[in-house]
């Protein structure tokens, strides 16, 4: 399912001083022209998987490009966060929003789709249930992680 792309896939050892992963592996989904899958390791153990390819969907139907409402309905125990300083052109020019369900060990990254004027899923992250979550395993300054206020339904 994950064919090796020598010279294209990225296997990197990062600086662990900032609490960032000790190693990350990035498999590019060239066949689908998608960002692929990231695996983050700490102390030689996988602790977070980040899926950014339409090749996969969850059993409840949530997938890349699902709408915010679909995710919140499927994971009502989640909380909303913003990654301040992440709003580059590649994610629609607005800071990324995350819906994080720590009890289920799943998080959804939402980018701004300017053509549709709404946020859509750009990544699905799996991490140990009940543990804390950070995008890519850590936040690199000057970016900041901020929980947003919950609005009543």
Q: What is the pLDDT of residues 74-127, one digit of tens each?
A: 999 999 999 999 999 999 999 999 999 999 999 999 999 999 999 999 999 999
Predicted TM-score (pTM) of the model is: 0.88
Rounded Cα gap, residues 16 and 138, in angstroms: 10
The 10s digit of each residue's pLDDT in 31-44 is 777 788 888 888 88
Average pLDDT (129-145) is: 90
Confidence of residue 17 (pLDDT cuts 50, 70, 90): very low
Q: How far is 64 from 58, CA to CA, in rounded Å?
A: 10
CA 110, CA 17: separation in Å to the nearest integer? Answer: 28
- Residue 21 pLDDT: 57
Residues 6+ apart with CB under 8 A from 102: 79, 129, 130, 131, 132, 133
The pLDDT mean for the chain works out to 88
Return d(Cα 19, Cα 79) in angstroms, integer: 23
In contact, 111 and 118? CB cutoff 8 Å: no
Task: Tell the burial category of 38 from Cβ atoms under 10 Å away from its Cβ (0-12, 13-18, 19+).
Answer: buried
For the chain, the domains span 10-147
Would you report the helix, strand and coil content of the chain in percent, each value rounded to 5? 10, 40, 45
What counts of helices (H) and strands (E) characterise the chain? 1, 9
Asked if 84 contacts 144 with a C-beta cutoff of 8 angstroms, the reply is: yes
pLDDT at 30: 75
């Amino acid at each position: 399912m994950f064919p090796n792309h020598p010279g294209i896939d990225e296997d990197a050892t990062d600086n662990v001083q900032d609490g960032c992963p000790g190693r990350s592996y990035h498999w590019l989904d060239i066949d689908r022209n998608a960002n692929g899958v990231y695996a983050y390791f700490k102390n030689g153990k996988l602790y977070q998987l980040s899926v950014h390819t339409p090749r996969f969907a969850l059993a409840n139907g949530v997938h890349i490009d699902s709408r915010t409402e679909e995710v919140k309905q499927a994971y009502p125990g989640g909380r909303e966060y913003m990654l301040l300083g992440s709003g580059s052109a590649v994610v629609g020019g607005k800071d990324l929003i995350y819906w994080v369900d720590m009890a289920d060990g799943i998080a959804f990254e939402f980018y701004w789709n300017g053509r549709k004027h709404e946020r859509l899923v750009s990544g699905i992250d799996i991490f140990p249930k009940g543990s804390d979550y950070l995008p890519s395993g850590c936040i690199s300054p000057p970016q900041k992680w901020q929980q947003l206020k919950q609005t009543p339904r």
